Structure 1
Amino acid sequence: NEAYGVDSWEIWGDKLEIIQNVSCRGCYDVEKRSLPVEYFYSDDYESLIERDFQNQQREEEEEKERERALKAQRREEKAQLREEKDRAEYERLKQKFEGGGS
């Protein structure tokens, strides 16, 4: 698809900002990308890319772990609330039938 290409690019500080044209079937759309400029000037750019990729993977995994922990905490809190509600309902019914209450 000839529409997939670089619309424009600029160097801002230590980043290369790229606007990529990802248009399809007549609908104009772009995606923005940002790459460290050092990728293009360093003799050891492959290790820089690998390092950044590994850092990104680690950050994504840490974020997933935080989300898992938060979901587990919410499930536990929900279960505790349900248990408290059930306990209160049990006490209310017990009072009603044993004490002749309303």
Structure 2
Amino acid sequence: NDGFFSNIISSSDEDQQNKRDKSLNNKLLTSSPTLLDRITKLRLNANATYDTYSNDQNLELYNKRMEIIEKMQKSNDAIVEMNEKKQKFLKKPPMKKIK
């Protein structure tokens, strides 16, 4: 019995994961690569600072970094949205001139 249900659960999880992967890929295609690079670097650097500073300093740095990441993420989302609109616009057939 357990095997049957775990199969159902894992396959639906896989479907959801596939959907997430597809939407992520779409976002990546229309995202600003420089922004994504910066976000990634900030996240990686966040992990590197833990050894260097005290807990209070770490928390402060982490919070500042997260604020920056959030802002960058928002602007990247805005870029994604604009690019998606642009793609839709470009896919539309050109309007016919009225004579």
- Pick the TM interval, shorter chain: 0.3 to 0.5
The one of the two structures with greater contact order (alpha-carbon pairs below 8 A, sep at least 6) is 2
Q: Which has the larger radius of gyration?
A: 1
Greater fraction helix: 2
Query: What TM-score do the two structures reach when normalised by structure 2?
Result: 0.42
Query: What TM-score do the two structures reach when normalised by structure 1?
Result: 0.41
